[in-house]
Each structure stands twice: as C-alpha cells, then as structure tokens.
Structure 1
Amino acid sequence: MLQLSTEGWLLAILASMAIGLAKGGLAMVAILAVPILSLVMSPVQAAGLMLPVYIASDVGGLLAFRRDFDRRVLLTSLPGAVLGIGFGWATAHVVPDRGVTMIVGLIGLAFALNALVRPDLSAEPRQPSSRRGSLWGALAGYTSFVSHSGGPPYQVYVQPLRLPTVIFAGTTTWFFAVVNWVKLIPYAALGQLSLANLKVAAILTPVALVSVWIGLRLVRIIPQALFYRLITWGLLAVSLRLIWQALTG
C-alpha cells in the first residue's frame, strides 16, 4: 500500500471531503483536492490517487442529481471535453504541468474578477452555445486530464447561463462524471492507476461518499444569489492558489 505519513493521511482525507462536497453540488470545491495532496506528493501521483475517489463519488452525485441537469449544456460541452482529454493524453510527456496550472489559474482569475467587478454583465442569462461549449469544454477536459482542475474553464462557460442552483450543481456533476470515466483509459495507459493508489483510494472513498450527502443537503438550502457569489469567490481563491503553485512549484 502507498505509504502516507499522518500529515499525508489528513490531507488525503481533506481532499476526499472536497471531492465529495463538490459531487454533492458545492461546485469548485473539488479543485482543491490535487493542490492539497501536492503538499506531500507529486501532482501526477496525487491526480492518479484521486481519480478512483472522483469516480466513486460520481456514483453518489449521479444518484442525487439523476433528474436535475441541463441536457443542452452537456450536449454542447462534452464533445469538446473528450477532445481535450485526448489532446492531454497525446501531449502528456510534452507539456509541463506547471504551464497548465498557470493557464488554469489565469483563466479562472480573469473570469472571477470580471464577475466581481462588473456583475451586471452576467445579469442577463446566456443560452448554451455549441461554439462556446466546445471551446471551454475542450479546455475543461484538457485541464481536468492534467490535474483534475477543469472547474475554472467549465465555469467560464456555464456560470453566465445562470442556471438554477440545483440544475447548475447537477449539470456540473454529470459533466465531470463523464469526463472522469473517459479519463480512466489514458490514466491506465500512463500507469497512474497503480494497485497501491487503488488501495488507498478504497479507504478514502467512504469519506467522499459521506461528503456527497453533506454537499447535497447544503446546496439545496443555499439561496441562488449567495450560491453564485460563493462559487465566484471560491473560483478566485482557487485560481490564486493555482497561480502561486505554478510560480513556486
């Protein structure tokens, strides 16, 4: 089994809780999982360890949101996401992780600052678009493949649609569930799904599943306006953390 220190286990538990809360509807929280674990292991190893936990949590999230999702958003974004994952696989040994981390952070930072400084621009809901969905879906698929950090590009596309809170949460859960299942193939081919990682992931999975239930309860009681403010500020905080990680990693 993968050997983790006491600190490593605590961080792994926190990362699993973040994944579960996100699958329960608290979008953007899961993006903290890999950066948290990267404090005690390489980002590549952290990503491989967390993917089985993501997939197990997806089951709980899909059951919770089995009817609460926007089909148009998924149809316009998932094809691009699959292409993004394929591109990530093809360039896995070429593009440095630090560069991708910086790009994700800058995209998220720009969007969050725009939403906070000029909130009136997003007051009128947009409609799903194949062009925008393909672009941001591809970026989300690529960055999700590299470091499970597809949240910022995905949010740039979906947040301006101003979906109801539960529909936003459910659509996000469905989108990343499909993305995670597709990632299994290249992750296995690249040797990131080792037996040691799978054993640790099996221990962490119950923590994530309990957190799915907690996230589901919270997302259904948080007012919609507050929900979007929280995920915008969350996106800002995570983006700054990713930029810092890219600069100092």
Structure 2
Amino acid sequence: MPELTLLAWAALAAAAVIVGVSKAALPGANTLAIALFATALPAKESTGALLVLLIVGDGFALWLHRRHARLRALLPLIPAVLAGLLLGTAFLAFASDAWTRRVIGAILLLVVGVTLWRRRRAREETEAPGAGLLAAAAYGTLGGFTTMVANAAGPVMSMYFLAARFPMREFLGTAAWFFAGINLAKVPFSVALGIIDGQTLLMDLMLVPGVVAGALVGRWLLDRLDQRTFERIVIALTILGAVYLLAA
C-alpha cells in the first residue's frame, strides 16, 4: 500500500466518487478524477490506479445504459483507437513523470479548444461525404492516445458523441460500451509497463466503495437531467477539469 497523507487519501476518495457519478450520468466529470489522481500520486502510477476504478465504473454504466447503445457507431472508431493505444504505450515506455504531467495538461487543454470549436460549428456545419470517417479517425486516434497516457479519452469522446448529436441516453449507452472495451484492452499494456501491480490493486480495493456510492448518486441525477442541461454540464466539467489540472 502506498504511503499517502490524509489529504491525498481524501483526494483519491473524492475522485472515486466522481468516477461513479461520471459513469452513471456525467461523462465529463472524469476529468476531475484524473486531476485529483495526478495530484495525489506520481503521474504514471495515477494512470494505472485510476484505470482499475474506471473498469469498476464501466460495469455500473453497462448495467444502467446497456439497452440504449448505438453500437454500430463505434465501428469506424476501432482502427484509430488501436493506433492511438499503441502510440500512447510507446510514449509511456520512455516518458518521465514530469513529461507525462506536461502531456496530460497539454492534452486536456487541446480538448478544451476542440470542445469550443466543435460546439460553435455544430449547428451550422454540413459534413461532406467522408467527413464522418475523418472525424472518427481524428477523435479515435486522439482518444486512444489520451486514454493510454492519462485515462483522458472521456472529454475527447464526449465531444465526438455530442458533435454526432447523440441523444442523452444513447450517448451514455454507447459511451458505456466504448469505454468498457477500451479500458479492458488497456490492462495488458498497463501491467507490462508496471503501472498496475499488487499495490495498485490493494489501494483501489479501498476506493471501490466510493465508485459504488458515486454510481448511485449518478443514477439519481440521471432522472433529473434534460438534454440541454446534460450537454452544458459535460462541457463545463471538461473545461473545469482541464484548467484545474493545468493549474495544479
């Protein structure tokens, strides 16, 4: 078990609750969990520790939203995501903690810019033939890389699903299947890189109740959200999390 201060444990516990809420109702909230984990733990170790909790949260998300998924929409993303995972694995094999932190901050800053740009153009753009595949390739590659390096694909893919105009329930159902698959695919890479080990699993075991509590809170919130409020909260949480991590 890592030796952590009481404040660090409090940050990790809060992040675990946020993971549960994000998986059940508010995908953008994951960025806050990334920031808290990266603040409490060394950058690389934070990636592995958070991944285990995300997988636990994925189980709740699938249980809640499995009937609303649009699985066919995920097919164009698969090759690009795999390419991004390989790029992210190669980066983690050579990058120091300091560089990993800088890249996490830069990635989330990029996501904020993409978020604002896509939202501004979403209502006025008419995509040409092939533009959908181009968007899938761009978001998929960036999503694969960010999820491997920082578990930060949530903001990237949230913007992809919003730009594709998914209704709230289909958004959550499709995202649940996407992240369940991608997070499980990352486990062998993470173990090989040494960022998931016995200590990681023991620490995460202490934090799982927070994920469960967060998922229950998220389920309660879900029945009280409409589409417009949902989209605004996703965008606001993405921006807030990115700014917090950069400032930290």
Q: Which residue of 2 aligns with 1:133?
A: 136
Given that residues 85 and 148 in structure 2 are in contact (C-alpha distance below 8 angstroms), is that contact kept between their aligned partners in structure 1? Answer: yes
Q: CA deviation at 1:99?
A: 4.3
Cα deviation for residue 176 of structure 1 reads 1.3
Residue in structure 1 matched with residue 194 of structure 2 by the alignment: 191
Question: 1:94 and 1:192, CA in 2 relative to 1: closer, same or farther beyond 3 A?
Answer: closer
Q: Using a 3 Å threshold, how does the CA distance of structure 1 residues 80 and 9 change in structure 2: closer, same or farther?
A: same
The C-alpha deviation readout for 1:7-40, integer Å capped at 9, x for no partner, is: 1211111110111111102111112212112223
The more displaced of 98-107 and 122-131 is 122-131
**8 Å CA contact 1:16, 1:33 repeated in 2:** yes
* AA in 2 matched with 1:129: G
Unpaired stretches in structure 1, ≥5 consecutive residues: none
1:111-136 Cα shifts (integer Å, max 9, x gaps): 333366x3xx3236988933311221
Structure 1's 109 and 221: CA in aligned 2 closer, same or farther, altered over 3 A? same
- The answer for the alignment partner of 1:207 in structure 2 is 210
Residue 49 of structure 2 is aligned to residue 46 of structure 1:
no
On the 8 A contact 1:21/1:214 being kept in 2, the answer is: yes
TM-score, scaled to structure 1: 0.88
Work out whether residues 100 and 143 of structure 1, in 8 Å CA contact, stay in contact via their aligned partners in 2.
no
Name the structure 1 match of 2:112.
Answer: 109
What amino acid is aligned across from residue 2 of structure 1 in structure 2? Answer: P
In structure 1, what is the equivalent of residue 85 of structure 2? 85
Task: Classify 1:126/1:217 alpha carbon distance in 2 versus 1 (closer, same or farther; 3 Å).
Answer: farther
Report the CA distance shift for 1:126/1:13 in structure 2 as closer, same or farther (over 3 A): farther
Q: How far apart in 2 are the matches of 1:10 and 1:58?
A: 22
Which is worse superposed, 151-160 or 175-184?
A: 151-160
On the 8 A contact 1:107/1:153 being kept in 2, the answer is: no
Evaluate the alpha carbon distance shift between residue 198 and residue 125 of structure 1 in structure 2; reply closer, same or farther with a 3 A threshold.
farther
Distance 1:94 1:172, change over 3 A: same
CA contact (8 A) 1:13 1:207 kept: yes
Q: 1:54-93, aligned counterparts within 5 Å?
A: 54-93=54-93
> For the residues of structure 2 that align with 1:11 and 1:140, how far apart are their CA atoms?
25
The amino acid that maps onto 1:64 is: L
Q: Displacement, 1:244?
A: 3.3
SS in structure 2 at match of 1:4: coil
**Residue in 2 that maps onto 1:221:** 224
**Identity level (%):** 25
1: distance between equivalents of 2:191 and 2:82?
16
Specify the SS of the correspondent of 2:176: helix
1:157 alignment partner AA = Y
Q: Distance in 2 between matches of 1:238 and 1:6?
A: 22
Matches of 2:124 and 2:215, distance apart in 1: 31
- For 1:231, the equivalent position in structure 2 comes to 234
Note closer, same or farther for the CA distance 1:115–1:232 as it changes in structure 2 (3 Å cut): farther
Task: For 2:247 and 2:126, locate their aligned partners in 1 and report how far apart those are by CA, in whole Å.
Answer: 32
Deviation by residue 1:29-58 (Cα, 9 ceiling, x = unmatched): 112212112223211111121211111111
Residue 31 of structure 1: aligned partner: 31
1:2 aligns with 2:2: yes
Distance (Å, rounded) in 1 between the aligned partners of 2:227 and 2:25: 12
Q: More displaced, 206-215 or 139-148?
A: 206-215
Cα distance in 2, alignment partners of residues 125 and 162 from structure 1: 12
Is the contact between residue 35 and residue 241 of structure 2 (CA under 8 Å) also seen in structure 1? Answer: no
Letter in 2 for 1:4: L
SS in 2 for 1:225: helix
